[in-house]
Amino acid sequence: MPRRAFALATLSALTTAGCGAGAGTAEVGRPGTTAGGRAGSRAGGAGTAGAEGATGAPGARALTEMRGEWMATVENRDWPSRPGLTAAAQRAELLVHLDRAVRNRLNTVILQVRPTADALWPSPYEPWSQFLTGTQGRDPGWDPLGTAVREAHARGLQLHAWFNPYRIANHTDPGRLIAGHPARVHPDWAVPYGGKLYYNPGLPAVRAFVRRAILDAVARYPVDAVHFDDYFYPYPEDGEDFADDDAYERHRGDFTSRADWRRDNIDRLVREMAAGIKRVRPGTRFGISPFGVWRNATTDPLGSDTDAGAQTYDDLYADTRRWVREHWIDYVAPQLYWEIGASGADYATLLDWWARVAEGTGTRLYIGEALYRAGAAGADGRPAAWQDPAELSRHLTLAARRPQVEGHVFFAAQDVAADPVGAMRRVVEDHYTRAASPPR
């Protein structure tokens, strides 16, 4: 698909040469469009280090660490299994996921509750999600977010509410949206791009609306965190321009660079959202899981020693490094969806880069892990490393040597359930022999 059609696209491109990402397989965040892969960066040494500690020392990890999973609802990626199930069946499926998280000694579920400018709670701003009933705006007969918060807390799990800020629909036809949808009431807010419909981040009215829609959920429910994935401005499509000329002319202020103006629009969203969360429900945290490459070092000496096809700073206009360094967000969970030794984007290289970025900032660092890539060699363009059930366990072994890393989040819930090659089972056996509390 949270967190990942694009993830798979960049994954396949970058995986061939060693790159990929996403917090919703193609939905929770997909990676860039072109492969990196000209020079391996520290691949050999990192791979060796990971192999040496593959089994880890049971119980050696701290008893306070993030152990999370994403649960994508867009296109019914993880839950519900299909639209149109009864309320009782949807609830039962949700509880199975929560119970499985407990059995695997996870402590946090990041549930996608606003996948496409819609809601998994009775929002006064946006319609009920079509991924519940099959029809946008139709009441599912229960409150999924409220139930998820209550049932997660009853099991000792944290519930992070995951919102996609700007995606309106996975098509470009406003006429297919429910009558009264904000994108139909305000057609000037919407921009078709890459086969999808997006709110225009350059409009102050859009930013204010997105904030109101999200903070409604924060006000209603004691969610432990608000979570954004890697979708800000959309990933670039060859031959297409994001049509924001009018917004740029009207709202650019003193900016002479459209790229700088776009980054400022996203910076404003992040700062204003952080302030709104603190105002509405003090103690609720704000976390973001960006694509794993801020910038390549060949573009910027502050960047990572990678050759990734997408760079969040340049392509999504998201200055993720700044958000961490200036502590605008409470935690960052970069999607490091590559294997140890990948030639275009080595997991170990990026792990070290993010550890240096987060050090001393007060922003907690968790690592997004590509459980969904574990499977047969060659499937979906996966490198052979992902056939090895120990690959992910080696990731955790490497991370355990970096004190800045305070845990991991796995994409995604359905992959935790299926675990085709036993990669998640291996992680639990090697690293999660005892329960752990999430950082607070």
Sheet strand arrangement including 167-169? 167-169, 196-199, 190-193
Q: What CA dihedral angle connects 436, 280, 334 and 386, to 10 degrees? A: 60
Are 24 and 411 contacting, i.e. CB atoms less than 8 angstroms apart? yes
Dist CA 317 CA 270 (whole Å): 12
pTM: 0.88
The SS3 call for residue 240 is coil
Going by C-alpha positions, the residue among 30, 65, 10, 324 that lies closest to residue 164 is: 30
- Spatial separation of the C-alpha atoms in residues 175 and 178, rounded to whole Å: 8
The answer to whether 28 touches 7, Cβ cutoff 8 Å, is yes
Angle 391-400/347-358 helices, nearest 10 degrees? Answer: 30
Strands 331-332 and 285-288: parallel
Written as tens digits, the pLDDT of the chain (440 aa) is: 343 333 433 433 333 333 333 433 333 333 332 223 222 222 223 333 333 333 344 444 459 999 999 999 999 999 999 999 999 999 999 999 999 999 999 999 999 999 999 999 999 999 999 999 999 999 999 999 999 999 999 999 999 999 999 999 999 999 999 999 999 999 999 999 999 999 999 999 999 999 999 999 999 999 999 999 999 999 999 999 999 999 999 999 999 999 999 999 999 999 999 999 999 999 999 999 999 999 999 999 999 999 999 999 999 999 999 999 999 999 999 999 999 999 999 999 999 999 999 999 999 999 999 999 998 656 666 788 999 999 999 999 999 999 999 999 999 999 999 999 999 999 999 999 999 999 98
Alpha carbon distance 269, 212 (integer Å): 12
Q: Dihedrals φ, ψ of 361, to 5°?
A: -95, -20
Collapsing DSSP to helix, strand or coil, 182 comes out as helix
